[in-house]
Amino acid sequence: MSNDQIRIVVVDDSALFRLLIRNILSEIPGCTVVGKAENGIHALEIIKKLSPDIVTLDVEMPDMNGIEVLREMNERGDSSQAIMVSRLTDAGAQVTTDALLEGAFDFILKPSGNNLEENKLLLYEALKEKINTFKHSRQSQQLPGQQQEIVENEIEPHSHSETRTSETGRYAAVLIGTSTGGPEALREVLPKFPAEFTLPILVVQHMPPEYTAKLANRLNGICPLEVVEATNNMPVRPGTIIIAPGGCHMKVIFRNKKVVVRLTDDPPENSCRPAVDYLFRSAADVWGDKAIGVIMTGMGQDGTDGCLQLREKGSYIIAQSQDGCVVYGMPKSVIDNDLSHRVAKLQSITSAIIQQSRQK
C-alpha cells in the first residue's frame, strides 16, 4: 500500500450506509477503507487497532453516539481525524456542532432523498471534498513556517485590567473569518475576551443553515460576551459577537447613522455563502482604517481579497500561524500576499486583538 494512501475506518449503525460509504470511498483516488464498525464501542476497538488517518463517524448511534466516540478518541490521544456523518435534523445539527467544537475535522450530511443514484452522487461529492481538504491539511503541515513576527505573549482570560480601552482607541470593530477547523478555533479564541471588551466582533464561519445557530448558542454559553446569530437589520452593538447565518452573506451598512447587519442571498463567493470576503469588503467601506481583521484556519483563499481592501484602507490584519491550523489555506494566502501585519498562534490571537485594540 502506498504511503500517501488515506486509510479510513467507516462507522455507522446502518449496514446500508456502511456499504454505501465504503463503496463511494473506493471510487475516490487515494482512499483505502481499512475497517468498519457498526457501533461506537466496536469503533473504538478498531480505531485503536488500526490507527486510521480518518474515521467517518455516524453522529446518531444507539448506546454510544458519535460525539461520545470522539471524546473518547480525544481522551486516548488518537491521531485519527473524524469526519462526522449527520442527518439534517435538529438533534443531528446540535451533536455535529458539538463535535466540531471538540475537534472533529469536518462533517457531511446524509442525503435525505429517495433517489439512490442522486444520494450516491451527493455523498461522493461531499466525501471527495472533505478527503481533498484532509490531504491539503496534511501537506500544509509539512510546509516551512513563516518568518513574520509571531505574537507569543498571552493575556489572562477574563482579565479585568486595561480591557475597556476601545472607547478611546482608534478601532471600531473586530472581524473574524474561518472555515475548516473554525469551530474549535473559535472555541479557543472567543471565550478569552473579557466581558469588558467593548468592540463588536463579527464572525464568518463556513457552515450550512441550522448549524450556525447551534454554534452561536454553544459559544454564548462559554463566552463572557454575548454571542448571537445575525438577523437582518440587527444593530452592531459594542461587546457583542455576531455570527453570520449559514446560507446567507453578511455585510455591514450604515442606516440612520448607525451600523447594522444586512443579510443577502447574493451568489456564493469562493463557493461559500456566507463568504469572508463579502463581510470584509463591506467593513472596509463602513469602518475604513478602524477595523481589525483576523483570518484563521480554513481551506482556500476566502478572506484574501477582503483583507486587501481592509489593509488598503489602513485597517489591521492578523493571520493565524501555520502551527495549530487544521488547514493552513486561508491564513497562508493572506500571509503569502503580504497582507498580514501580525502572525499569531491560535492561543495568542485573542491577546493580539486586545493589544491592537488599545492602539490610538
Kindly name the residue from 166, 179, 282, 340 that is annotated as catalytic: 179
Distance of alpha carbon 93 from alpha carbon 249, whole angstroms: 20
Contact 10, 69 (CB under 8 A): no
Reading the block at residue 346, the C-alpha cell is: 491560535
d(CA 45, CA 9) in angstroms, rounded, equals 11
Distance (Å, rounded) from C-alpha 154 to C-alpha 269?
35
| Of the candidates 249, 261, 264, the residue with the CA atom closest to the CA atom of residue 286 | 261
Of 58, 137, 206, 277, the active-site residue reads: 206
How many whole angstroms separate alpha carbon 169 and alpha carbon 150?
Answer: 23
Distance between CA atoms of residues 336 and 3, nearest Å? 29
Instruction: Establish whether 302 is a catalytic residue.
Output: yes
User: Which residue among 282, 302, 333, 351 is the active-site one?
Assistant: 302
Computed on alpha carbons and rounded to an integer, the radius of gyration of the chain in Å comes to: 21
Q: What are phi and psi of 209, to 5 degrees?
A: -55, 155
CA dist list (Å): 43 to 20, 61, 64, 90, 97: 18, 11, 10, 25, 21
* Rounded Cα gap, residues 185 and 295, in angstroms: 11
Which residue reads 452592531 in cell numbers?
Answer: 236
Query: Do residues 82 and 99 lie in contact, with contact meaning Cβ atoms separated by under 8 Å?
Result: yes
Strand pairing category for 240-243 and 201-205: parallel
- Note if 179 is an active site residue: yes
Residue of 259, 254, 295, 244 lying closest to 173 (CA atoms): 259
Q: What is 133-195 written as a DSSP string?
A: HHHHHHHHTTSPPP-S-EE---PPTT--SS-TTTTTSS--EEEEEE-TTHHHHHHHHGGGS-T
Catalytic residue positions, numbered: 179, 206, 302
